[in-house]
Amino acid sequence: MPPPLADALAARAAALRAELDLHAHRYYVLDEPGIPDSDYDRLFNELQALEAAHPGLLAPDSPTQRVGGKPLGQFAAVRHRLPMLSIRTETNTEASGAENFDNRVRKELGLKESDPPVEFVAELKFDGLAMSLRYERGILVQAATRGDGAVGEDVTQNIRTIRQIPLRLPADAPAVLEVRGEVYMRRAEFEALNERQRAKIAQGAKGEKTFVNPRNAAAGGVRQLDPAIAADRRLSFFAYGVGEVTPPEGGGPAFETHLQLLLTLKSWGFPVAAQTRLARGATELIAFHEAIGQQRDQLAFDIDGVVYKVNALPLQRQMGFVSREPRWAVAHKYPAQEQLTTVVGIDIQVGRTGKLTPVAKLAPVFVGGVTVTNATLHNEDEARRKDVRLGDTVIVRRAGDVIPEVVSVLLERRVQAAAQFTMPTQCPVCGSDAVREEGEADHRCSGGLFCAAQRKEAILHYAHKRAVEVDGLGDKLVEQLVDADVVRTLPDLYRLGFAALARLDRMADKSAGKLLAALEKSKQTTLARFVFGLGIRHVGEATAKALAGHFGKLDSIMDAGHGQLLDVADVGPVVAASIRTFFDQPHNREVVEQLRACGVTWQEGEPAVATWRPLSGLTLVVTGTLPSLSRDEAKDRIEAAGGKAAGSVSKKTDYLVAGAEAGSKLEKAQALGVTVIDEAAFLALTEPPPA
């Protein structure tokens, strides 16, 4: 028999209080969040609604009667003269949530439809740690965290390390001023911090960890006993209000509006978010919410919503507070960017360049405004670092159009038998070896010419004008040929018939005829172009020419050992290993033989003896319009003379070949002291000796 309704409701309220207390302790005290903010808000709202419907369930120790967690024992306690209260959260994340708030304010103030719109200040809702800064006679004397709203923690020494926070105020500041604001960490600083942490971990440092998000890295920095650690976090601060204010004798600023207060704080040296705006009525609040939502992912720091406050301070005082929240302000959030879900599988995705990416297959979860079922794990190192395993409960994040990713694993929920992720040794698409080159994070499929996942990229590269060159074979046509399964490998290009081409969308008879003629013409090429067209990793145009000149024959290149390849100019250990890996795949050799069988041919001969290399070891850049040479012709002359043709000027540039209308490259070369020559001098440098 089920328990009476009153007992069931009391049990549910007790369970919610216990769970919220647990998560508040992990979040505020230990800096180790166990669930996303959206899950905490959902539990809090359920308890709040339960207590409102059944007042007898309301307990003095309920999380709804307090703001946050208890202060850490290591810091001195600070009792706030004025409580640091939080503000109500508008649970409707749509733009209409702003209209809901405007309607409540107008009702509270007794306004009619014919009355003018209420004036608000619209601000960002920062994702950081609330802070109160106390100034006495213009000097920063104390910084305290929010704590439970009534009592916080004295973190003055750590806050002094934040350079944005002034230590002294101008003479016109009040005798006592408490500035309320948010300590946060910029995204770039967060990434740099985690890079430093990963380096420490790689060096075997004990007790080090990476951080889940900027908010928790900032909170952890503020709560360090050693100010040097706080300084290393490179924290930032935004001001958004005041607590206690005692004017000096003779008076002080008599604030009439919240915006005036913010502008005065800014004039005293406090950072105030540039996005802060006046907004009149619901229409302008909605416009602000939508505009910031579009900018959110481009901001230098994290936000999880916006805040609306009645601008007129007399009206704020008139409206007052309800329970723990002011009636005159609201936090209007955006759809959650982090949610909990479970990993139902880990697949390997093969990109068009052969990169192998582990992807977590997720139980569907609504996050960042869409339903997410996949999240990237980036590469083997990242998957191992996060230690994502089949069956794990994970926090997944999606911000804007960014590919969803797994942020962290809740280890306490892990199935005991879950096996560690291991990268496969073969490509899941074509079965070729999956290789990871020295110094690289990614594994790659070595079956470039054979792998279906790389088909389009391989064809486009082969048809490039600097490779084998098939005029008219561009992106859209290649996409049609591959998607229609007409072309699977490069040799299929030369087996195309007029009828197959004519069936393609927007392929007229004349266009089909031109493509077939271009394919026939491309059969006559050079060894260097053909080798470049194969798309071997790290083998660019210059390296392909060096290989062709050194070996003279394709078979000699394909059969060359690692040591023989190192004898070639422009070939180092990484390039040699890549060439060897490519030709060690039977699939790739088979494609080469089929291309030969289709009639693709080139002149071969004995290995050339390089005796004339006047530009050996030199780097040249060409800019502007030369009188008689195109860019490609100039580049060919540089490489034929043994030099390197670069695209940008640097300290390593030996010569800049400048033609008409040379722009910024010429200016940079002159600033760096690079030798500048014209076409005549360049031709003299690269003119081959008489036979």
Q: What is the pLDDT of residues 408-418, one digit of tens each?
A: 888 888 888 88
Q: Is the pLDDT of residue 249 over 60?
A: no
Nearest alpha carbon to residue 562 among 547, 573, 550: 573
| Positions of E strands within 252-389 | 277-280, 303-310, 321-322, 325-326, 329-333, 338-350, 355-367, 370-376
User: Mind listing the pLDDT tens digit for each residue in 540-567?
Assistant: 888 999 899 899 999 999 999 988 898 8
Superfamily in which the 619-686 domain is placed by CATH: BRCT domain (3.40.50.10190)
Confidence of residue 691 (pLDDT cuts 50, 70, 90): low
- At 531 the pLDDT is 96
Check pLDDT > 60 for residue 250: no
Q: Do domains 5-65 and 338-413 have the same CATH topology?
A: no
Report the C-alpha gap between 470 and 492 in whole angstroms: 14
- pTM above the 0.75 mark? no
Phi, psi of 312 (to 5 degrees): -75, 120
Q: Is the pLDDT of residue 63 over 80?
A: no
Active site residue 651: no
Structural domain boundaries in the chain? 5-65, 88-333, 338-413, 434-438+444-597, 619-686
Tokens of 657: 């070949």
Give the mean model confidence (pLDDT) for residues 370-391: 88
Res 68: pLDDT: 47
DSSP-derived letter for residue 154 is: B
Residue 425: pLDDT over 50: yes
Q: Measuring CA to CA, how many Å separate 336 from each of 213, 302, 339, 584? A: 14, 12, 7, 49
pLDDT band at 611 (very low <50, low <70, confident <90, very high): low
- Is the pLDDT at 251 greater than 50, yes or no? no
The whole-number pLDDT of residue 424 equals 92
pLDDT over 90 percentage in the chain: 43
Between 277 and 687, the more confident residue is 277
CB 331 within 8 A of CB 89: yes
pLDDT in tens, 154-210: 999 899 888 888 888 888 889 999 999 999 999 999 989 988 888 888 788 887 877
Give the angle subtended at the CA of 14 by the CAs of 10 and 16, to the nearest 5°. Answer: 115
Considering the four listed CATH numbers 1.10.150.20, 1.20.120.10, 1.10.3720.10, 1.10.760.10, the one that applies to the domain covering 434-438+444-597 is 1.10.150.20
C-alpha span between 121 and 131 (Å, rounded):
20
Q: What's the rounded Cα separation, in Å, for the pair 309 and 468?
A: 65
What is the average per-residue pLDDT within 653-680? Answer: 91
Q: Report the pLDDT value the prediction gives residue 3, as an integer from 0 to 100.
A: 60
What is the average per-residue pLDDT within 85-89? Answer: 87
Tell me which CATH code domain 5-65 carries: 1.10.287.610
Average pLDDT (80-87) is 89
Residue 60 confidence (pLDDT): 63
pLDDT at 235: 93
- pLDDT over 70 at 2, yes or no: no
Question: 338-413 has which fold?
Answer: OB fold (Dihydrolipoamide Acetyltransferase, E2P) (2.40.50)
3-state SS assignment for residue 623 = strand
**What is the arithmetic mean of pLDDT over 24-40?**
72
Q: Which residue among the candidates 70, 107, 125, 476 is catalytic per the annotation? A: 125
HSE-up (13 A, CA, CB side) for residue 206: 0
DSSP letters spanning 126-139: ESSEEEEEEEETTE
Q: What architecture is the 88-333 domain classified under in CATH? A: 2-Layer Sandwich (3.30)
Bridge partner residues of 133 (DSSP): 143, 179
**Can you tell me the distance from the alpha carbon of 451 to that of 432, in angstroms, rounded to the nearest whole number?**
8
DSSP 569: T
The 10s digit of each residue's pLDDT in 299-329 is: 999 898 999 999 999 999 999 988 778 999 9
Highest mean pLDDT among 26-35, 181-190, 616-625: 181-190
